[in-house]
């Protein structure tokens, strides 16, 4: 026994020694060739191709939203052709399943292995921030069609990251608060999901409402995954405020909340304002005429009377069984049309030139209306107060009031806004 | 009788005689593989490929910490992603406070030890499904804290901009570093598994009541095993944020912990290199196959089902069994009561022991 043990030890020591020697010998050589920077962008510049890496959660919990975001992007190029001003736009779509680690690996794959000129996406706040930090470190522009995280264009802003197809969480809902106060409501109660997006949305509404002299009397938070909203609806009823503001991040919670709200018979007695995603097309299709006349606030209004919106929603409806496009589809489409517009004006631009071409650009007739970009690469554009109405036999969110040129600073100056802590339950600005 | 049984197991696991030839072959294969792994950055691999391999090794370190608990201690943990994430958050927080790499390491490892202690103390008197539930619960607590304590953790948005020490800045240097850590932790776990402590752990796995009646303090052995496993998980967590420069609550999610168990089972519970193989399969399916196949989660599920149905000892374990069976057939031993202890890590030792004992 003993001898086996000792000899085994000696052998292991020998093996370890050998491998160390091998490692040292190898380490003494020149560093590996892979360390050289990629030269892919310049190659594709020569050939007149803009290579786009598109990351989106096509599988997993956020698959529907992720697929919509891809559909919007693809739809634009199908309608208009993928060649603009002599530049061919080539897209590689990658799935990140909503997981930040996978998102990062996909971004690395797109940049280092496929040599893309620009990364578009991903969708969720944490994946977006992870990818933006990576792409900026390797000098590749990153465009965000849907991601709403405030920090993307505030505390974590960088020169190469642009929000192109949406607004930040607090930015969109600030005019909602202003509108509610202008309507003459004196008190408000809010219900938002209990994580960053919800905190930002409610903070936006609250600050807007209070800036016009309103008072938020109670704020309630629901955890992600809530499907039974009856207790929250009762709390809203008990709060007895003049208006209720309810935000969700899209998906099932919107219809679930409204079912409880309608079920408890509050539709006529409690004025309600919802956010972008709780009152999107999925909700309208799920609940039908029951919610006609309901109001919401968003940067996207599919029922807006405009040629570009009509062209977009007709094309989308033709391809997807007469559906109207949601905000996620619009974000993808908006980003594609923006890239096309910038290419048309400047020819092929990559890297920082692409970013500055976008941020110097004013998109006068986008599907969102007139949109420009601020110094932190965030969109400055209109926000619509919308009402659910029937248009050509389909329910759509039709704007009843427009706030033009809304920026992300909620009436503060940027330095002041950046100094305050991130929004949370306890800090709402 | 009982004493004798324990004794035989212990002796067999410490220093079972293996045929010198098998040992030599194993060592040569390992050295060749290690040499290949060391030389990998020179073989014309892209930085993306190296980053994938690095991801695999980090996942393998984390999976081997789970493997140690399951394989030797019989304790399946559903909370290891939580420990790794706690350590990662420690490093991230230290970066935010402007500390250097040593500060990050210190904070990350202290948090790891505290968190592992909490896990260990809460779970040391449980076993089986109860152990699973306790670790799951503590993992959820960590996820909840990461999600809600936004002034420390950044909430859902996570923390970006975590930098690794300057001497590891280049991706290939980091790769070698990770490879070194992987080799060290694997060696460490191998040695621990073959120490008297490891033998006692396996005794616990096989029969807690017997070990208790022999006078072993079952709870303290379990706590000890958890501390070892937790520390390695924490190390993997720190390496992971150094690799991705980023952490968010999803790193602590149950999903990650479940994937770790999947890696361990795919590779082979209790095998030395099972975690590496399992991690490679999961990471490659998640990151490479998903480029081509939209329904990659289905493929991962299918692989898992196939392994459970046809190769219950995992990829590494079943390969070992196969080699053993072929060799046995060649050497003329009649096939019969094979693999009574398919979970033990030393296949050849078992065989020789059985041959010699009568």
Longest Cα–Cα distance in chain B: 68
CA-based torsion, B45, B47, B50, B56: positive or negative: negative
Q: Is the pLDDT of residue A3 over 50?
A: no
What span, in angstroms and rounded, lies between the C-alpha atoms of B137 and B78?
Answer: 9
Long-range CB contacts for residues A35-38, cutoff 8 Å, separation at least 24: A35/B47, A35/B170, A35/B171, A35/B172, A38/A111, A38/A112, A38/A115
What is the pTM for the complete model shown? 0.84
- List the single residue in A94, A105, A199 with the smallest CB-CB distance to B52: A105
Could you report the per-residue pLDDT of B227-257, keeping only the tens digit for each? 999 999 999 999 999 999 999 999 999 999 9
Cβ neighbours of A59 in B, within 8 Å: 290, 294-297
A180/chain B closest Cα distance in angstroms: 29
| Chain A CA closest to residue B283 | A102
Cβ neighbours of B161 in A, within 8 Å: 133, 156
- List the single residue in A32, A97, A130 with the smallest CB-CB distance to B158: A130
Cβ neighbours of A102 in B, within 8 Å: 286-287, 290
Cβ neighbours of A100 in B, within 8 Å: 158, 244, 246, 248, 250-251
Could you report the per-residue pLDDT of B311-327, keeping only the tens digit for each? 989 999 999 999 889 98
Position B259 scores a pLDDT of: 94
Query: Which class would CATH give A41-167+310-377?
Result: alpha beta
A135/chain B closest Cα distance in angstroms: 12
Token pair recorded at residue A183: 């309507």
Neighbours of B303 (CB within 10 A): 17
Q: Is the pLDDT of residue B172 over 70?
A: yes
What span, in angstroms and rounded, lies between the C-alpha atoms of A114 and A117?
Answer: 9
Q: Is the pLDDT of residue B209 over 70?
A: yes
Axis crossing angle, helix B218-244 with helix B80-96, rounded to the nearest 10: 50
Cβ neighbours of A424 in B, within 8 Å: 150-151, 155
- List the single residue in B17, B50, B246 with the smallest CB-CB distance to A34: B50
Token pair recorded at residue B335: 């096939």
Could you report the per-residue pLDDT of B57-92, keeping only the tens digit for each? 999 999 999 999 999 999 999 999 999 999 999 999
pLDDT band, very low/low/confident/very high, at A12 (cuts 50, 70, 90): low
Verify whether the Cβ–Cβ distance A105 to B51 is below 8 Å.
yes
Q: Who's near B262: CB < 8 A, 6+ residues apart?
A: B278, B282, B300, B304
- List the single residue in A23, A156, A421 with the smallest CB-CB distance to B160: A156
Residues of chain A with CATH 3.40.50.2300: 41-167+310-377, 170-298+382-419
pLDDT band, very low/low/confident/very high, at A33 (cuts 50, 70, 90): very low
Output the average pLDDT for chain A. Answer: 88
B49-257 classified as CATH 1.10.3470.10: yes
Verify whether the Cβ–Cβ distance B250 to A156 is below 8 Å.
no
Interface residue of B14, B23, B47, B62 to substitute, partner A, most A CBs within 10 Å: B47
B288/chain A closest Cα distance in angstroms: 9
Min mean pLDDT across A307-311, A362-366, A390-394, B177-181 is at A390-394
Verify whether the Cβ–Cβ distance A32 to B42 is below 8 Å.
yes
CA-based torsion, A331, A67, A86, A114: positive or negative: positive
Q: What is the ipTM of this complex?
A: 0.79
| Chain B CA closest to residue A24 | B38
A170-298+382-419 classified as CATH 3.40.50.2300: yes
pLDDT band, very low/low/confident/very high, at B351 (cuts 50, 70, 90): very low
Output the average pLDDT for chain B. Answer: 86
β-partners of residue A50 are A89
Q: Is the pLDDT of residue A13 over 90?
A: no
Task: Please give the sequence-ordered ranges of beta strands (E in DSSP) within A173-294, or none if there are none.
Answer: 187-193, 215-222, 243-246, 272-274
Cβ neighbours of B30 in A, within 8 Å: 15
| Chain B CA closest to residue A156 | B160
Query: How many residues comprise chain A?
Result: 429
A417/chain B closest Cα distance in angstroms: 16
Mean pLDDT of B122-127: 92
- List the single residue in B15, B24, B30 with the smallest CB-CB distance to A1: B15
Cβ neighbours of B50 in A, within 8 Å: 34
Verify whether the Cβ–Cβ distance B291 to A32 is below 8 Å.
no
Position B128 scores a pLDDT of: 87
Cβ neighbours of A157 in B, within 8 Å: none
Are A296 and A397 contacting, i.e. CB atoms less than 8 angstroms apart? Answer: yes
Q: Is the pLDDT of residue A6 over 80?
A: no
Interface residue of A5, A32, A157, A425 to substitute, partner B, most B CBs within 10 Å: A32
Q: Who's near A392: CB < 8 A, 6+ residues apart?
A: none
Verify whether the Cβ–Cβ distance B160 to A133 is below 8 Å.
yes
pLDDT band, very low/low/confident/very high, at A14 (cuts 50, 70, 90): low
Position B17 scores a pLDDT of: 55
What span, in angstroms and rounded, lies between the C-alpha atoms of B260 and B279?
Answer: 8
Q: Is the pLDDT of residue B358 over 70?
A: no
- Domain range list for chain B: 49-257
Position A19 scores a pLDDT of: 52
- List the single residue in B49, B154, B244 with the smallest CB-CB distance to A104: B244
Mean pLDDT of A106-130: 93
Q: Is the pLDDT of residue A211 over 50?
A: yes
Q: Is the pLDDT of residue A147 over 70?
A: yes
Position A18 scores a pLDDT of: 53
Could you report the per-residue pLDDT of A269-280, keeping only the tens digit for each? 999 999 999 999
A225 against A91, higher pLDDT: A91
Q: Is the pLDDT of residue B264 over 70?
A: yes
Neighbours of B43 (CB within 10 A): 11
Interface residue of B52, B195, B246 to substitute, partner A, most A CBs within 10 Å: B246
What span, in angstroms and rounded, lies between the C-alpha atoms of A134 and B48?
Answer: 13
Token pair recorded at residue A240: 């007895």
- List the single residue in A105, A133, A194 with the smallest CB-CB distance to B245: A133
Interface residue of A12, A23, A54 to substitute, partner B, most B CBs within 10 Å: A23
Mean pLDDT of A144-168: 93
B158/chain A closest Cα distance in angstroms: 6
Neighbours of A415 (CB within 10 A): 8
Verify whether the Cβ–Cβ distance A35 to B47 is below 8 Å.
yes
Verify whether the Cβ–Cβ distance A95 to B39 is below 8 Å.
no
Verify whether the Cβ–Cβ distance A32 to B246 is below 8 Å.
no
- List the single residue in B14, B45, B158 with the smallest CB-CB distance to A100: B158
Cβ neighbours of B244 in A, within 8 Å: 100-101, 104, 130
Position B343 scores a pLDDT of: 44
Verify whether the Cβ–Cβ distance B156 to A58 is below 8 Å.
no
A95/chain B closest Cα distance in angstroms: 7
Position A10 scores a pLDDT of: 57
Are B51 and A108 contacting, i.e. CB atoms less than 8 angstroms apart? Answer: yes
- List the single residue in A2, A108, A424 with the smallest CB-CB distance to B48: A108
């Amino acid at each position: 026994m003993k001898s086996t043990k000792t000899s085994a030890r000696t052998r292991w020591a020998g093996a370890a020694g050998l491998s160390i020697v091998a490692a040292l010998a190898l380490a003494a050589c020149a560093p590996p060739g892979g360390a050289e920077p990629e030269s892919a962008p310049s190659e594709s510049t020569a050939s007149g191709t803009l290579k786009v890496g598109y990351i989106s959660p096509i599988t997993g919990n956020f698959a529907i939203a992720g697929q919509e975001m891809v559909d919007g992007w693809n739809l634009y190029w199908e309608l208009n052709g993928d060649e603009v001003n002599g530049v061919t736009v080539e897209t590689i779509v990658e799935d990140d399943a909503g997981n930040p680690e996978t998102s990062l690996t996909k971004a690395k794959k797109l940049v280092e292995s496929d040599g893309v000129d620009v990364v578009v996406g991903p969708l969720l706040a944490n994946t977006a921030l992870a990818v933006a930090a990576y792409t900026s470190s390797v000098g590749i522009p990153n465009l965000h069609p849907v991601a709403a995280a405030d920090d993307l264009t505030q505390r974590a802003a960088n020169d190469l990251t642009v929000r192109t197809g949406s607004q930040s969480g607090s930015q969109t809902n600030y005019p909602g608060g202003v509108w509610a106060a202008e309507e003459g409501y004196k008190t408000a109660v809010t219900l938002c999901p209990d994580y960053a997006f919800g905190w930002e949305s409610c903070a936006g509404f609250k600050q807007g409402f209070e800036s016009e002299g309103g008072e938020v009397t109670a704020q309630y938070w629901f955890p992600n995954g809530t499907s039974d909203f009856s207790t929250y609806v009762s709390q809203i009823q008990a709060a007895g405020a003049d208006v209720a503001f309810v935000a969700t991040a899209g998906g099932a919670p919107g219809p679930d909340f409204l079912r409880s709200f309608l079920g408890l018979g509050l539709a006529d007695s409690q004025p309600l304002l919802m956010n972008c995603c709780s009152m999107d097309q999925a909700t309208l299709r799920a609940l039908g005429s029951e919610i006609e006349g309901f109001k919401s606030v968003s940067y996207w209004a599919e029922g807006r009377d405009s040629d570009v919106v009509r062209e977009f929603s007709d094309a989308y409806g033709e391809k997807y069984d007469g559906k109207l496009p949601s905000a996620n589809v619009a974000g993808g489409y908006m980003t594609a049309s923006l890239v096309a517009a910038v290419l048309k004006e400047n020819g092929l631009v990559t890297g920082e030139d692409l970013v500055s071409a976008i941020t110097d650009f004013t998109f006068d007739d986008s599907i969102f209306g007139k949109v420009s970009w601020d110094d932190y690469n965030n969109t400055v554009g209109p926000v619509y107060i919308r009402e659910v109405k029937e248009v050509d036999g389909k329910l759509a969110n039709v704007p009843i009031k427009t706030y033009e040129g809304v920026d992300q600073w909620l009436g503060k100056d940027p330095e002041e806004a950046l100094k305050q802590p991130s929004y949370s339950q306890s800090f709402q600005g | 009788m009982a004493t004798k049984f324990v004794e035989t197991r212990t002796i067999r696991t410490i220093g079972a005689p293996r045929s010198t030839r098998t040992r030599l072959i194993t060592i040569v294969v390992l050295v060749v593989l290690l040499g290949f792994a060391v030389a990998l950055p020179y073989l014309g691999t892209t930085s993306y490929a190296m980053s994938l391999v690095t991801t695999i090794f980090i996942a393998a370190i984390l999976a081997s910490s789970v493997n140690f608990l399951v394989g030797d201690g019989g304790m399946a943990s559903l909370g290891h992603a939580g420990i790794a994430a706690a350590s990662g958050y420690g490093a991230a927080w230290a970066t935010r406070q402007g500390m250097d790499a040593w500060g990050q390491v210190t904070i990350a490892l202290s948090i790891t030890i505290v968190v592992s202690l909490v896990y260990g103390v809460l779970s040391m008197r449980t076993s089986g499904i109860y152990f699973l539930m306790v670790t799951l619960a503590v993992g959820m607590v960590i996820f909840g804290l990461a999600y809600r304590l936004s002034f420390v953790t950044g909430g859902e948005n996570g923390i970006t901009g975590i930098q690794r020490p300057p001497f590891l800045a280049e991706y290939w240097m980091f790769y070698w570093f990770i490879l070194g850590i992987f080799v060290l932790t694997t060696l460490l776990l191998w040695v621990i598994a073959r120490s008297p402590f490891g033998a006692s752990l396996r005794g616990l796995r096989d029969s807690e009541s017997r070990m208790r009646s022999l006078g072993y303090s079952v709870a303290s052995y379990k706590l000890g095993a958890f501390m070892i496993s937790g520390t390695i998980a924490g190390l993997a967590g720190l390496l992971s944020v150094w690799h991705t420069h980023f952490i968010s609550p999803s790193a602590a999610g149950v999903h990650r912990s479940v994937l770790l168990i999947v890696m361990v089972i795919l590779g082979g519970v209790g095998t030395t290199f099972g975690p590496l193989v399992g991690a490679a399969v999961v990471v490659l399916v998640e990151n490479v196959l998903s480029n081509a196949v939209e329904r990659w989660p289905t493929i991962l599920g299918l692989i898992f089902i196939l392994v459970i149905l046809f190769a219950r000892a995992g990829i590494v374990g079943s390969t070992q069994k196969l080699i053993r069976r072929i060799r046995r057939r060649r050497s003329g031993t009649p096939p019969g009561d094979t693999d009574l202890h398919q979970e033990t890590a030393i296949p050849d030792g078992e065989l020789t022991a059985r041959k010699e004992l009568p």
